Every structure is written in C-alpha cells, then in structure tokens.
Structure 1
C-alpha cells in the first residue's frame, strides 16, 4: 500500500515538473498561461518561464512568445527594463537554475521508472526513497532561486516605472506542489522499506 502511495506522489510530482518545463514555451492554450512571474505596465505584460517569455495585453491576452532557449536569461527579454530593473546581473543563476531543474526532473523520472519496472522490490524502494528525497532537496534549492529572482524583480518594478507591478504565477505553486509530492513520495517509499511485508 505504501509503495503505491509513493508512486502516486512521485507521478504527480513528475506531471507538475513537465508542466513547468512547458511553461511559456509557445503561444498555445494552457502553455501561455503558465509562468513563474508576470510584470504588467499599464495594459501590457510580460511573463517568464524556464525557457523564455510571453508578452501581450491585459485585454487581448498573450499575443506572442519567444522561441524556447536553454538557460534563458530573463533580463535579455526586449523592453524588460520598462517593467523592472531587478532581473539583471544574474546570468549564472539562470544557468544554475536550468541545470538543477533538469537534474531534478531526471531523478524524479528515474525513481518512478525503477520502482515500476522492478515491481516494488525492497532494495529498489530504498533507492527510490533516497532518489526522491534528493529530488526534493534539488527542487527546494530551485524554488528558493526562482522565488528570490521573481521577488527581486517584483520589488524593483517601482524603480523602473511607477505604473508597473509584478505578480507570481502558477509555476511557482506547481513547483511547490512537485516539491511536496517528492517529499511525500520519499517518506512513503521509506515506510515501505521499514513496515512493508517480506518481498519475494
């Protein structure tokens, strides 16, 4: 029973991580509405995901999205200085965030795959418990990075323009959900190893 709960939480975390990976990549329904942070100036806005940005107007919604770029630096978005001055000078942080996210995604996928393919063996569940806990730690680090960058940009909006403001997006909360899912997955895998019956 514990193993199935662990798999459920790990699968849920993986799905949320996939949505975060796809956020703000294309001007398509749902994808264009997922972002970490959005900055608004009068009727115009720009929002940021892991791979790029989307922009548009409050009345019309998203009108265009950038081509996805690995380790996209938010401060490189055209016209961003009219929204905020708080995103510059952190190129290495964006790169670290990008790399850590892919590592966390790989760990989550690997933990889910090995437990299913190995039919929930005790040793495999132990490895999955360690892997999902490591994934949780990585997601926690990434969460802090993204939250600091986003809040720094939001707090600096008034320096750029008194009519500008920022807000956190759904990806922040989906990231938090994935992080919690990995933590619960790790705990349930651990309970499976400790309290589970003998394995054949």
Structure 2
C-alpha cells in the first residue's frame, strides 16, 4: 500500500510540474513579454540621453554663426557700449561710446568662438569656429582699437586670463567628449535588456558621459560667474558690464540632469527587472503575463555540466 501511494504522489507531482512551462522551453515571444518592463526602462534611458544630446548640441553650436537662434546662445555677454566713464566731457552725447575708439558695443562668448555687434544693429558677425577656443578680451580689444587709441583694462580682468585659458580648454574637451559618448550610449543602452552584466558595463560608460557633462557644466558656471564678478568690480576707471547667458546655462544643466537620470536608471537595471538571460536560465521570472496564467517552476534550475547531460 505504501509503495502504491508513493507512486501515485510522484505521478501527481509530475503532472503539477508539467502544468507550467519550463524556463528553457519558453518561446522568444514569451521571453520578450516577460522582460517588457526592463525593455521599457532601457528605452527610457535612451530617450533621456537623446534629450541630453539635443541640448548639448545647442551648447556646442551657440555663437558659431550669426543666425536667429545661435547668436542668442552664449556663456557671457561683455557690454562695452559705455566703456568711457560718464565723467568724461560730452560722453553722454555719444550714442555708442565704444564705436568712437573702434570697438563693438558687445561681445558674446561661445564654446567655439564669439559674436560681436552693436546695440542698434544687433549681432553683426561671428568668428570662425576654433578648436580649443578661449575668450581673450585683451587680444580682441587691442586688435579692434583704432590706430592711436588705447584702453587700459583693469587688473581684475587681466589677472584671470591664464586661468581662463586653461579652464576653457578643459571645458571644451569635456563638453565635446561628453557629447560624443552620450550619442554613442543612445544606441548601446538597449543592450541592457539581454543581461545584467551588459547593463553593468553600459552603466559604467553612461556614468562617464554624465560625469564629463556635469564637470564641464560646473567649470563653465564657476568660470563665467567669476569673470562676471571681476568685471563688476573693475572700478570706476572703465565701464564694462558682463552678464551670464541664461539660455546657455539652462541648456547645459538640462543636458547634465538628463544624463544623470539615464545613469541612475541604468544602475537600477543592474539589479532590478528580469533580463532575458535571467528568464531563460530560470533565475528570475519577470512578468507573469508572459506565461498565460501558468507560472513556471523555478525550483529546478537547469544544471550546466561539462560533457554530456545526464538523463
């Protein structure tokens, strides 16, 4: 009796296990449906990186050409329209004081160059894009002064030129490298659907992209705010007004924020949401909707051995 009962229980157990599909026998459609949540987050990561690269492109092309949108995207606007103090006789009768000595009224600084113009005309010209560009107001002003004219810039501005040159080179390299890496990761992040190891390697490069962009944004913010403050504290001998470009700073920080969000999601995929490799090997089940109500038996994990499989 005991033997027969045991045999009956074994048969019943086998029938119970056969009700649900084994992880190794799942179809491709079932595996894809089981990992749909992971795919959604992977595509969300790509979408966030796409938003980041769009704003990075705007940062890159700001002040490169004299066009409607590009000329209004700048890091710093240097206003020289009242460079001669009002204490000078008849200074108030001059419409634009800077033009009397051969200068433009304002200069707008971008990543690849600068634009210049007059208050009554707007931007008139932009320099040719230059690799590793850095804004040197002393050289620009000296090159544009009329013959015999001279302007002594305050030491608050000239003292920081060496620092501006070095920091500008770093900022240029970081922004360009970050943009290239973000563009590449847009197409690589969907690979994290297949396994957590792929998600881990993708998250490393996503982190590097977010780090490059964020560090470049911090450098730009600190450098141009310092430049603005130095111009404001230049003294009463010369009137130079400097203002930060709101659009440029908003664009670069939006790019940084979305790159960081993409990295955080990618880090979450390293441990959360079943990958296709997990579902095939029975490590994780994924979405139950993929099994048509028959939950697979995860207790018997497939044994991987060298040589022939024992039956």
Q: TM-score, normalised by structure 2?
A: 0.58
**For the residues of structure 2 that align with 1:119 and 1:151, how far apart are their CA atoms?**
40
- Trace 1:1-200 onto structure 2 (pairs within 5 A): 1-42=40-81, 44-75=105-136, 78-79=140-141, 85=157, 88-90=161-163, 91-116=165-190, 118=191, 120-122=193-195, 123-158=197-232, 159=234, 163-169=239-245, 170-199=247-276
The 1:46–1:126 alpha-carbon spacing in structure 2 relative to 1, beyond 3 Å, is same
Give the stretch that moved more between structures: 80-89 or 26-35.
80-89
**For the residues of structure 1 that align with 2:67 and 2:153, how far apart are their CA atoms?**
26
**For the residues of structure 2 that align with 1:126 and 1:82, how far apart are their CA atoms?**
53
- 1:109-137, CA deviations, whole angstroms, 9 ceiling, x for partnerless residues? 12112235x48433443333222221222
Greater share of strand = 1
The 1:124–1:38 alpha-carbon spacing in structure 2 relative to 1, beyond 3 Å, is farther
**For the residues of structure 1 that align with 2:109 and 2:216, how far apart are their CA atoms?**
15
The 1:2–1:166 alpha-carbon spacing in structure 2 relative to 1, beyond 3 Å, is same
**For the residues of structure 2 that align with 1:148 and 1:120, how far apart are their CA atoms?**
39
- The structure having more radius of gyration, on CA atoms, is 2
The 1:40–1:178 alpha-carbon spacing in structure 2 relative to 1, beyond 3 Å, is same
Structure 2 unmatched ranges of 5 or more: 1-39, 82-95, 97-104, 143-151, 278-311
Q: Kindly indicate whether the alpha-carbon contact (under 8 Å) linking 2:157 and 2:227 is maintained by their aligned counterparts in 1.
A: yes
Q: Kindly indicate whether the alpha-carbon contact (under 8 Å) linking 2:153 and 2:238 is maintained by their aligned counterparts in 1.
A: no
Structure 1 runs (4+) greater than 4 angstroms displaced: 80-84
Q: Kindly indicate whether the alpha-carbon contact (under 8 Å) linking 1:115 and 1:121 is maintained by their aligned counterparts in 2.
A: no
**For the residues of structure 1 that align with 2:174 and 2:70, how far apart are their CA atoms?**
22
Q: CA deviation at 1:101?
A: 1.7
Q: Kindly indicate whether the alpha-carbon contact (under 8 Å) linking 1:13 and 1:182 is maintained by their aligned counterparts in 2.
A: yes
Q: Kindly indicate whether the alpha-carbon contact (under 8 Å) linking 2:116 and 2:124 is maintained by their aligned counterparts in 1.
A: yes
**For the residues of structure 2 that align with 1:155 and 1:30, how far apart are their CA atoms?**
27
Residue correspondences, number: 199
Structure 1 unmatched ranges of 5 or more: none
Q: Kindly indicate whether the alpha-carbon contact (under 8 Å) linking 1:26 and 1:32 is maintained by their aligned counterparts in 2.
A: yes
Give the stretch that moved more between structures: 161-170 or 60-69.
161-170
Give the stretch that moved more between structures: 54-63 or 20-29.
54-63
**For the residues of structure 1 that align with 2:74 and 2:263, how far apart are their CA atoms?**
27
